[in-house]
Copies of this chain bind each other. A is one copy, B any other.
Amino acid sequence: MTVALDDYALFLRKNGIKVTPQRLEILRYLDKNRNHPNADMIYRDLKKKNPSLSRTTVYNTLDTLRSHNLIHALTISESELRFDSIINPHQHFLCKKCGEIIDIEVECPYLKEVLQGGHRIDEVHGYFKGVCKDCLAKEGGS
């Protein structure tokens, strides 16, 4: 995403998306909260400031941002979509203990090989699952 702070309205306009207060708030939220929130986290947090916010608006806005390729949806969790501001290509680690999703900065050398298979690749996701460093420390391993 890499938006210059507070240029959210301009950012939306540039991408041909009509500017609304709800979209601005959701966009700002995603830009500030890089912890890969799900739709409900976004909804509950933003509803505090704007009680009339609808869950459907959150889903609609996330779909809109996705369709313009401004955010990514992660399917790393088994039960929900998590959303990711697009910064640079990176992969994800899910801790099955605490549920945290951690960014993993590694290059993906797969792409070329897969492309040779003749399929058109639009998205590449590297998902790692296990137990994170912090959880391991808390309980001394396994």
Contacts and interface: CB of A to CB of B under 8 A. Distances in A.
A119 B102 CA distance: 10
Contacts of A136: 118-120
A124 B117 contact: no
A5 interface: no
A129 B121 contact: yes
Contact of A119 (B78, B118, B119, B133): B133
Contact of A106 (B78, B110, B129): B110
A125 interface: yes
A96 to B, nearest CB: 7
30 contacts: A73-B78, A75-B77, A75-B78, A75-B127, A93-B117, A95-B119, A96-B122, A102-B117, A106-B114, A109-B109, A110-B126, A110-B128, A114-B128, A117-B133, A118-B132, A119-B132, A119-B133, A120-B130, A120-B131, A120-B142, A121-B128, A121-B129, A122-B131, A123-B127, A123-B130, A124-B127, A124-B129, A125-B126, A126-B126, A126-B127
